Structure 1
Amino acid sequence: MIGAAGHCISRFIPDLPPAAAADVPEGEADSAATIVMISDIASFSPIAAVQFMQPDGWMVVGLPANFYAQIDRHVVSGTLLGESADVRFTPRAFDWSYGDGTSALVGTAGGAWQSLGLAEFDPTATSHVYTAEGTYVIDLTVLYTAEYRWAGGPWTPIAGHVELPANPLVAQATSDAVTVLVDRDCTRGPTGPGC
């Protein structure tokens, strides 16, 4: 695999299935066939994910803070081994470092509580509970699998993966959260206290 700085990195990634072998019709394979390695696509850079959190910029000690990313499969065009080519990057794993010495490697980008049909502070596959007050830097590295094609031909998988960091988040964990009771629904009285 190739890291963001172009250095080779090695680690076990449980959420990434091995790349499938390219389909080569019987009798058409020869010893001169081109094999594209992950290092060959170093000039093709995937789009970086954008990381978000809820609540935005702060956490309540003892309650889940929700982290999620936005990134989709995408194609980058360029020159591969001297030929015009496309490389398709698919985000396959998300490696969160929560800034308190813990991390999580998951196979989902997560989502906002509302989009997941959850209430605020419900746990998610990408949430984290902080146990101490303080300021934390939350880092996310996205692991992409890659495929290539020449001249609009079929996609061929490349063994390995590419890692790219998302934007870091800086957030404050506090245990001084205050709740406010209101006398009506905030949709009916959106200017009321706590709305």
Structure 2
Amino acid sequence: MKNTTLLILTLFAAQLLSGVPQVAPAKGACSDLIKFIKDHGETIENTCPETIPEKDRFYVNDDDRQKRINNRPKPLYEIEYLDPCSFGLERFRGCSQNPDALPCEDGSSPYTRIIRFVEGPRNGEQIITNGLCPEQETPPDLPNAELREQQIIVTPSKFRSFPIAASMLKSEPTKFSLRNGHSHFWAVSGVQNFRINMSGRPVAVKAIPVRWNWNYGDGNTRNLDFPGEPAPEHTLRDETPTSHSYTETGTYGVGLTTLFRGEFSVDGGPWQAIPGQAAVPSEPIEIDVWRTKKQLIATD
């Protein structure tokens, strides 16, 4: 009699917890045990699957659980890029408003990527990556989510894929200098225009040079926000805003990387800034640095 009373009380307690009528299973019919979570958050263990409505089941076994995951609607997300540069103030701020921000490996400035979930259970959730560099921009690892089609945008990686021509590197004297002299360097570059189609709509893209990063081959580098200009009257005694002086003789490889910012326009509409920059290296040149030697010559 005591055992019968205990069984009735146990079944009644289960009904109170789950809100679901419990039916005593036949002996040996509950070989698969499951867990499930009700709306109120309580967990009931060791309950026969047949006694729980389908909508309240958390999982029965691994196959059933995976099937439920696969049948769920995939969350939607969209991507937004933000540039730390103020549009139109690149020359003033050099695309580096934060003095503590380290440049990327290619010399460009880092930018921000925001993954924003829209609709579904993750609506409003954001994944923010600050200080993103070209070498770090990999596709988002969101296997169970789908990218929502947005308005047409040119992403930083898309902009870097354009065939942007490098600056032409020039020197005076041409590929020659003297020790402790002032070798004059400058770059020839300008705005470049591209036209593409995206989603069947015409898109115009501009690549605008904004920074010139020099490497003189002797361990010295220099980052300038202007390319320099020819100096026909220049001599090795004249220092210029873009000249460099070698203190030792030898042959040095001079390199230059130009940073381009981008803008794009859809259907002739307003120009929009493209976050990030494209770093385009130039073909290096060699400079032979000689030394002068004074010698007295007797004249009779």
Do Structure 1 and Structure 2 share a fold, with TM-score over 0.5?
A: yes
| One of 256, 263, 279 as aligned partner of 1:140 | 256
Instruction: Report if aligned partners of 1:88, 1:146 keep a CA contact under 8 Å in 2.
Output: yes
Contact 2:249 2:291 in 1 (8 A): yes
Give RMSD over aligned pairs: 2.6
Q: Is the 8 A contact 1:40 1:81 kept in 2?
A: no
Name the residue aligned to 1:16: 95
Contact kept in structure 1, 2:160 and 2:277, CA below 8 Å: no
2:219 paired residue among 101, 104, 107: 101
Does the aligned pair in 2 maintain the 1:44–1:87 contact within 8 Å? no
Q: 1:123 to 1:161 in 2, by over 3 A?
A: same
Matched residue, 1:130: 246
5 Å matches for 1:15-94? Answer: 15-16=94-95, 32-80=150-198, 83-94=201-212
Cα distance, 1:157 vs structure 2: 0.7
DSSP-derived class of the 1:142 partner: strand
Change (3 A) 1:78 1:32: closer
Q: Distance in 2 between matches of 1:82 and 1:42?
A: 21
Displacement, 1:84?
2.8
Instruction: Provide the rounded CA distance (Å) in 2 between the counterparts of 1:15 and 1:171.
Output: 29
Three-state SS of the structure 2 residue aligned to 1:40 is helix
For residues 152 and 177 of structure 1, the distance between their equivalents in structure 2, rounded to whole angstroms, comes to 63
Kept in 1: contact 2:250–2:288 (CA 8 A): yes
Mark the CA change 1:119 to 1:41 in structure 2 (over 3 Å): closer, same or farther.
closer
Q: Which residue, 274, 279, 297 being the options, matches 1:163?
A: 279
Q: Distance in 1 between matches of 2:247 and 2:169?
A: 22
Q: Does 1:175 align with 2:291?
A: yes
The reply on whether 1:151 has 2:267 as its aligned counterpart is yes
Task: Quote how far apart the aligned CAs of 1:62 are.
Answer: 0.4
Larger helix proportion of the pair: 2
Match of 1:120 in 2: 235
Is 2:110 the partner of 1:110?
no
Distance 1:163 1:85 in 2: 22
Supply the AA of the counterpart residue of 2:242.
Answer: T
Equivalent residue letter for 2:211? A
Q: Which amino acid aligns with 1:168?
A: P
* Structure 2 Cα separation of the partners of residues 166 and 153 of structure 1: 33
Classify the secondary structure of the residue corresponding to 1:39: helix
TM-score normalised by length of structure 2: 0.46
Deviations 1:66-103 (A, max 9, x none): 11111111211223466431210111000000000110
Deviation at 1:130, TM superposition (A): 0.2
Distance 1:80 1:167, change over 3 A: farther
Distance (whole Å) between structure 2 residues aligned to residue 64 and residue 76 of structure 1: 38
Q: Structure 1's 109 and 81: CA in aligned 2 closer, same or farther, altered over 3 A?
A: farther
Percent identity reads 26
Name the CA shift for 1:82/1:49 in 2 (closer, same or farther; >3 Å). farther
SS at match of 1:78: strand
Deviation at 1:39, TM superposition (A): 1.2
Does the 8 Å contact 1:106/1:125 carry over to 2? Answer: no
TM-score, scaled to structure 1: 0.69
Structure 2 distance, partners of 1:134, 1:80, is: 51
Bigger Cα Rg: 2
SS of 1:56's partner is coil
- Letter in structure 2 aligned against 1:143: L
Matched positions, count? 152
Contact 1:61 1:173 in 2 (8 A): yes
